[in-house]
Amino acid sequence: MLNTEQARERVHDIVGRARRAGADAADAVLIADRSLSVSVRMGALEDVERSESAELGLRVFSGNRSASVSTSDLSSASLDTLVERVLAMAREAPEDPWAGLAPDAMLLSGSAPDLDLDDSADADPQAMRDRALEAEDAARAVPGVTNSEGGGASANRSVTALATSNGFTGGYAVTSHMISASVLAGSGGEMERDSAWHSARHAAMLEAPDAIGRLAGERAVSRLNPGRVASGAMPVVFDRRVSGGLLGHFIGAITGSSIARKTSFLQEHLGKQVFAKGVTLHEDPHRLRGLRSRPFDGEGLPVGPRRLVEDGVLQTWLMESASARQLGFDPTGHAARGIAGAPGAAPSNLWMSAGDQSFDALIADIDTGILVTELIGQGVNGVTGDYSRGAAGFLIDKGQIAGPVSEITIAGNLIDMFLAAIPASDLEFRYGINAPTLRIDGMTIAGD
């Protein structure tokens, strides 16, 4: 597997080849990846998978025309052919007045910050198997669990490097480790499934496998014998397992490309109240060992902590260079990219500030409501904000969590939902996007 310095050299080299061949500008990204995963089921090893890859993507500009290609063949002859092919493509592409590299003056200069994203540990298949077995054993030991879909452990290390023809070359390595378990409870046609998992940049930060397994088993058993709910309007409480998904819909609506294309339900909301007063959305790409941390963005721009929403007011769009030019702004350091194509925009570590009520206090005055722990389907309209998704969870009855419920649909409009969202005080940092439990009153429930 390529190391960081080798990856930097490769992207710097291919950009130089493109310029010498006649490209007006170019950038290149290389991602080298090595992974190992182990799965077990019913106490026995089921599968071990190893993979290793390296892929390079090159984008070139001929005036306002651009094209991109990718390859996994990094030989010198192949790269020369790649350059010829992409230049020919670019010269035939349609003009785009907004396309281009990030502004020279905004590129990251000096050393990139060390965010401690790489634990440099070699994956040990035996240790991973033991972790997976421990997680599954703990899940199967929960009374009421009757079958297993398995336990798993994985380790991944990847190196990312980026070079641009206007002066940026950078690279960094990250590792990620995960433990998971998925089991079933009950029997016959009354079985219920649930799971639990944890992911971390450093193996030493992983939660104990038995705790993960026990949580998976308890979740599955708690879903047995679900009831139905009468249709109507009532409060819906989004568990922390799913509340971050609402922030995902919010992010999709404030990306520069959605705004430039006028396909966002928040099109006219910059500088306006989008959440209740007191609600703040934070972003910190420099979080040490963060799941979405990065030292620079996908165009070589510096990144840093910021507030996307402050006291409920939307502060910024998320813009890479192309959408920023179209909208008349500077790029915000949110460019994100894969191997092929132009950059899009995405946040790094994102979270909603915690509220001042405990979970119990948040639901105490709910006469009848729903605690949602699982969302099903993709019924979200990014243009109108209309929201309708299948859901499962638990009935809230007179301020207490009652029995499980399933086969319901929750509906509303995201503009109204965001404004009505009340956060609890139980924020935890477990995912790339985190939010506390959220209560939203007046949502429409379709049940019996």
Q: Say whether both 394 and 437 belong to one domain.
A: yes
Q: Say whether both 241 and 116 belong to one domain.
A: no
Q: Say whether both 379 and 398 belong to one domain.
A: yes
Tell me which of 176-180, 268-272, 311-315, 340-344 is least confident: 340-344
Q: Say whether both 235 and 205 belong to one domain.
A: no
Q: Say whether both 159 and 246 belong to one domain.
A: no
Sequence length of the chain is 448
Kind of pairing, strands 422-423 and 400-413? unpaired
Q: Say whether both 31 and 108 belong to one domain.
A: yes
Q: Rounded mean pLDDT of 346-359?
A: 97
The number of distinct structural domains making up the chain is: 2
Q: Say whether both 103 and 200 belong to one domain.
A: yes
Q: Looking at 188, 221, 254, which one is the last position of a domain?
A: 221
Asked if the model's pLDDT at residue 340 lies above 90, the reply is no
Per-residue pLDDT of 83-111, as tens digits, reads 999 999 999 999 999 999 999 999 999 88
pLDDT of residue 372: 98
Spatial distance between the Cα atoms of 37 and 24, rounded to a whole number of angstroms: 43
When pLDDT is cut at 50, 70 and 90, the band that residue 126 belongs to is very high
Q: Looking at 189, 221, 253, which one is the last position of a domain?
A: 221
CA dihedral 314, 315, 320, 324 (to 10 degrees): 100
Asked if the model's pLDDT at residue 448 lies above 80, the reply is no
Q: Rounded mean pLDDT of 8-24?
A: 97
- Find the largest Cα–Cα distance for the chain: 72
Work out the mean pLDDT of the chain and round it to a whole number: 96
Tokens matching residue 172: 């960094």
pLDDT of residue 228: 86
Per-residue pLDDT of 204-233, as tens digits, reads 999 999 999 999 999 999 999 999 899 999
CA dihedral 413, 417, 419, 421 (to 10 degrees): 180
Give the pTM: 0.94
Spatial distance between the Cα atoms of 50 and 418, rounded to a whole number of angstroms: 43
Tokens matching residue 234: 């009532």
Q: Say whether both 283 and 211 belong to one domain.
A: no
Assign residue 208 the CATH number of its domain.
Answer: 3.30.2290.10
pLDDT of residue 9: 97
Q: Looking at 198, 221, 244, which one is the last position of a domain?
A: 221
The domain of 339 spans 226-448
Q: Say whether both 203 and 130 belong to one domain.
A: yes
Q: Please, what's the b/e burial string for 223-233 (b: 16 or more CB within 10 A of its CB; e: otherwise)?
A: beebeebeeee
Residue 239 backbone phi and psi in degrees, to 5 = -60, 160
Q: Say whether both 77 and 59 belong to one domain.
A: yes
Contact (CB, 8 A) for 216 and 182 = yes
Contact (CB, 8 A) for 390 and 370 = no
Q: Say whether both 365 and 443 belong to one domain.
A: yes
Long-range CB pairs of 88-95, under 8 A, 24+ apart, other chains included: 90/23, 90/60, 90/61, 90/62, 90/65, 90/66, 91/62, 91/65, 92/65, 93/62, 93/65, 93/66, 93/67, 94/65, 95/63, 95/64, 95/65
Q: Rounded mean pLDDT of 13-30?
A: 97
Q: Say whether both 292 and 417 belong to one domain.
A: yes
